[in-house]
């Protein structure tokens, strides 16, 4: 029987990744450990990724304000262009998966009643995997206006967080990236995203990490 293991990687900063793995105890041959490239690692020390299942198709829940659709598409296009291949794809709007759960569908939510107890987090990305293959990812954005407000477009708005920069970071988690142990200048996977800050372009370091798998 598979055993369920849930990892909650706690961080001091803003965005979090929550990962859930099904670890199948099998008589598989031992695999040699891989270099992490800042990916989440499986129990067998393999990078956890979508592998040949990419591009990942993500649906936008109807809770996400339509003014941010362009921000989501912008972040998708940035990763695809940076990697020179399509790794992410937007499937369209959906109201068919009303809450984040393991349902086989990748959904982006905007949570207006986000709990005050995790008010410092701008978003939480959950990935589910078996062995070293991700089979689902969901993103929840803190949509509680008492915690954060967002903007998108060419003009920075004081006191608000750039939705595109935030989604670019969360998509990094969707693809399997962790927060780097050492934050190289310019990395979009840095734990903290300040308001009124544009971070819409991955550092070469981020792209090289993803190229370990894609």
Contact pick of 15, 18, 139, 175 for Zn ion (by CB under 5 A): 15
Of 15 and 134, nearer to Zn ion (C-beta) is: 15
What's the closest the beta carbon of residue 25 comes to Zn ion, in angstroms?
30
Partners of 47 in the β-ladder: 41
The residues near 196 (Cβ < 8 Å, ≥ 6 apart) are: 156, 157, 158, 159, 160, 162
141 is an interface residue for Zn ion by CB under 5 A: no
- Only one of the segments 11-19, 70-78, 135-143, 157-165 lies at the binding site for Zn ion (rule: CB under 5 A); that segment is 11-19
Q: How far is the CB of 17 from Zn ion (least distance, A)?
A: 5
The minimum distance between CB 98 and Zn ion, in angstroms, equals 24
Q: Which is nearer to Zn ion, 11 or 212 (CB)?
A: 11
If the CB atoms of residues 129 and 131 are measured against Zn ion, the closer one turns out to be 129
Q: Is 190 in the site for Zn ion (CB under 5 A)?
A: no
Size of the site for Zn ion (CB under 5 A): 1
Q: Is 111 in the site for Zn ion (CB under 5 A)?
A: no
Q: Which is nearer to Zn ion, 76 or 123 (CB)?
A: 123
Residue whose CB is nearest to Zn ion in the complex, by number: 15
Q: Which residues would be at the binding site for Zn ion (CB under 5 A)? A: 15
């Amino acid at each position: 029987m598979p055993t369920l293991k849930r990892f909650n990687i706690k961080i001091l900063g803003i965005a979090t990744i929550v990962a859930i793995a099904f670890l199948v105890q099998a008589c598989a041959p031992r695999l040699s450990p891989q270099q992490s490239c800042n990916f989440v690692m499986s129990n067998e020390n393999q990078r956890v990724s979508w592998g040949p299942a990419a591009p990942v198709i993500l649906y936008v829940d109807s809770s996400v304000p339509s003014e941010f659709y362009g921000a989501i598409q912008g972040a998708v296009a940035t990763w695809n262009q940076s990697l020179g291949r399509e790794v992410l794809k937007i499937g369209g709007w959906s109201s068919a998966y009303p809450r984040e759960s393991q349902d086989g569908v990748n959904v982006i939510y905007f949570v207006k009643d986000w709990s005050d107890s995790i008010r410092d987090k701008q978003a939480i990305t959950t990935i589910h995997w078996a062995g070293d293959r991700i089979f689902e990812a969901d993103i929840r954005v803190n949509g509680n206006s008492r915690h954060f407000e967002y903007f998108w477009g060419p003009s920075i708005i004081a006191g608000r967080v750039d939705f595109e920069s935030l989604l670019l970071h969360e998509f990094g988690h969707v693809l399997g990236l962790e927060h780097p142990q050492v934050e190289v200048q310019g990395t979009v996977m840095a734990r903290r995203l300040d308001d009124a800050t544009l971070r819409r372009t991955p550092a070469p370091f981020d792209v090289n990490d993803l190229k370990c798998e894609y």
